[in-house]
Amino acid sequence: MRVSENDPALLDELLVCRLDSGRRNLEPCSIIIFGASGDLTARKLVPALYHLFLGRQMPMPFRIIGFARRAKTDEAWREELHEALTRFSRTRPIDEEVWRQFAANVHYCQGEFHELAAYTRLKHLLRGFGDPSLANNLLCYLATSPSQFGVVAERLSAAALIDKSGERGWQRLVIEKPFGADLASARQLNTELTRYAHETQLFRIDHYLGKETVQNLLMFRFSNSIFERLWNRDAIEHVQITVSEQHGVGSRGGYYEESGALRDMVQNHLLQVLALMAMEAPVSLEAEAIRDEKVKLLKAIRVWAPEQVLQQVVRGQYTAGTVAGKPRPAYRTEEKVAPESSVETYVALRVLIDNWRWSGVPFYLRTGKSLPAAASEVRVQFRPTPHVLFAAQCGPRLDANALTLRLQPDEGITLRFNGKVPGTSLQLRPVRMHFSYDAEFGAYTPEAYERLLLEAMSGDATLFIRRDEVEAAWTFVDAIREGWKGRTLENASFYEAGTWGPAAADALLARYGHTWRNPQAPATP
């Protein structure tokens, strides 16, 4: 869009929309990373913090403290992080002068997670920085195994490093998924954490919510009346949400044997996208108003009885095949995978939302590994027009209108409609209007962890998951797992690596007169 400098009214409107320039009212603080020697720290957390510093979005002053079991000096850890940054930074080469300034704020504290004396050493380190804010305003990032979440929280409380009263600065715990392995364990974990920290101090992170295009779901829906008026059962026939992955489980076979695609992807990523896609308009853009509506939506999802699961949910597992021209072994032959495993690497399910807006509209969700393309998108299929006028001439070429929101890659939005083919005869053909993030904005899209860390430091919980949100998602997922209990995979559940999933997934949609629309690159509906 081009804006004329002679149109002050329109310029004023754009100026209002730009008031949130990404700057936050950040207070000086210390970021403590528990599990500092892990892969997440090297690949995501420290590069994200470096880029925030590079963009002058970090609070000043700040400190970053790595907490882990291995003994090392500050300088040794800085060298490790520098090496990791040269591999994982989104901007290369690294600005060495900026890195030098950043690294001066990076420190290391050695200790076991259960060792109270280590937390005492951490406390002395924080007090030694001189500024009381650096000792009292603490962002504690638990990049540990879930079994350590409660231990770290208890020790932080015992050492008086976190305080539920809020009288001494602020302290927040950022918790990585998985949030439990089922509803019971999630409730137990939530109960344990809230024993030492208030719910408002817990920031459960799902990196998917940090993606720019996922956040844009809300902006697109509620700032464009042309679409919001159609966003209901009257205009929409069905919705498809696809999160496909090209890679297999690789070295994560042991983890996947415990989780499977349902718990690894559906319980968090896909249900979060569904919630943003289908929720009602919040009363404001405040964090709790948005999270309230997400919880209402998740609680409105129809929970399938065990005997209904086999009719409404498909699980699959990849066999040997070819992905992107390279051979891919079968899941059962991957490292640390049982030879007769029935763990799913693919899930497709039909979801119904029992509320006024979406009554009778099916939502089809699917995710899988070793698929032909790595893509995430939401496709909204509108109800077809009556075929009275064009059926005879156009037949199957008359397609229903569709809107595709491409979350990654080739981020953008595509509207599909029918247009007349030039010529003397009356012929219609589906055409599309496409908006591309890259073409329109040109600027970089920040990494999800950059946005999420910035929001956590500012205390904005909008993009983080609340306790009742976690438990509502597990309620739905546990019912599916109950329906699968004791059942092995059937022949129709297997799919060759490099294909779009098992035959049973196609049959699921065919029963209701629908077909999957597979993502392509660039995005097309």
> Which residues are marked as active site?
269
Task: For residue 431, report the phi and psi dihedrals to the nearest 5 degrees.
Answer: -130, 175
Q: For residue 63, what are the contacts with CB-CB under 8 A and spacing of at least 6?
A: 30, 31, 105, 106, 107, 126, 129, 134
Bond preceding residue 93 cis, omega within 30 of 0:
yes
- What's the one-letter identity of residue 356? W
Assess contact for 19 and 115: CB atoms under 8 A: no
DSSP string over 499-511? SS--HHHHHHHHT
Whose tokens are 């489980």? That residue is: 249
Q: Rounded to an integer, what distance in angstroms lies between the CA atom of residue 150 and that of residue 400?
A: 51
DSSP string over 274-293? HHHHHPPPPSSSSHHHHHHH
Assess contact for 101 and 64: CB atoms under 8 A: no
Q: Rounded to an integer, what distance in angstroms lies between the CA atom of residue 262 and that of residue 343?
A: 10
Q: Rounded to an integer, what distance in angstroms lies between the CA atom of residue 130 and that of residue 105?
A: 13
